[in-house]
A = this chain, B = another copy of it.
Amino acid sequence: MMKIGGNVIDDASALTEVLTAFSKFEGAKILVHGGGKEASKLAEKLGLLPQMVDGRRITDAPMLDVVVMTYAGLLNKKIVAKLNAFGTTAVGFSGADGNLILSKKRKIGVVDYGFAGDIVSVNHQLLVTLLNNNITPVCCAITHDGNGQLLNTNADTIASELASALADFYDVELCYCFEKKGVLMNSEDEHSVIEILTEETYDDLLKTSTIHSGMIPKLDNCFAALKKGVKTVTIGHHSLIGNKNSNHTKVQLQAYENH
């Protein structure tokens, strides 16, 4: 299970490199992708103003159309076409397709996130059927509420939930790829990668605000997946995919693991 973020998708040569490496993986695999930067670009061209709160997008009706067009349309199909060219039988999915990911419109609290969906359930049977037929699902960050409404959902959370839903059936490895080499002790210093991040050290680093902003929900997703039985969770640069020895962060519940 691999999740790739916006910066990789933006850069055509980085994307080709990632998808080439991903294609070479043997066995059952799933790709989850974001694409927020592309969506913001399209929104701007259409005269819409992207609004973010704590790294999460406010999704009004016109913005929902933009994210559906960008994530489920342009980016998903470009990725699927490339993977098929590289010999991987990929099929693109939103959460609406085959009722893969059911979610609930987020209740209006301090912030009204609009058409943002929080995941309720994953159709793990569909995933197992696809994987058993050697089909690689490519999942974008759109879900649905089961009543015909599409919803915008965080791609990191989708990767975590899909990985968790499969933990009973497979030994799942979850890998978050982005533009940095891992979780950094000092966000200004690319060499300060935390090699092993446990829940205990995570708590300490939260208290000192060493880990902050967008990294918090990402790490919460990592620990949630581990608690639901996902075997390994790593965070690293996309070049990690082809080279497991390169520097990265391994997220673990405890310092010493039993396996």
Contact = CB atoms under 8 A, between A and B. Distances in A.
A90 interface: yes
Number of copies: 2
Given A46-B45, A46-B46, A129-B133, A81 B96 contact: yes
A68 B140 CA distance: 15
Contact of A91 (B73, B80, B97, B142): B97
A31 interface: no
A216 to B, nearest CB: 30
Contact of A68 (B77, B99, B144): B77
Contacts of A76: 72-73
A77 B72 contact: yes
Interface in A134-148: 135, 142, 144, 146-148
Interface string A146-184: 111110000000000000000000000000000000000
Majority DSSP secondary structure for residues of A touching B: helix
A78 interface: yes
A148 B81 contact: yes
Most buried by B among A65, A68, A94, A148: A148
A85 B133 CA distance: 26
Interface string A27-65: 000000000000000100110000000000000000001
Kindly state the interface size class of chain A when it binds its partner. 35 or more
Across the A-B interface, give the 8 residue pairs with the lowest CB-CB distance, nearest first.
A73-B73, A69-B69, A85-B148, A69-B73, A81-B96, A91-B97, A81-B144, A91-B98
25 contacts: A42-B69, A45-B46, A68-B73, A68-B77, A69-B69, A69-B70, A69-B74, A71-B73, A72-B72, A72-B77, A73-B76, A77-B150, A78-B150, A80-B97, A81-B144, A81-B149, A84-B98, A84-B146, A85-B146, A85-B148, A89-B98, A89-B99, A91-B97, A92-B96, A129-B133
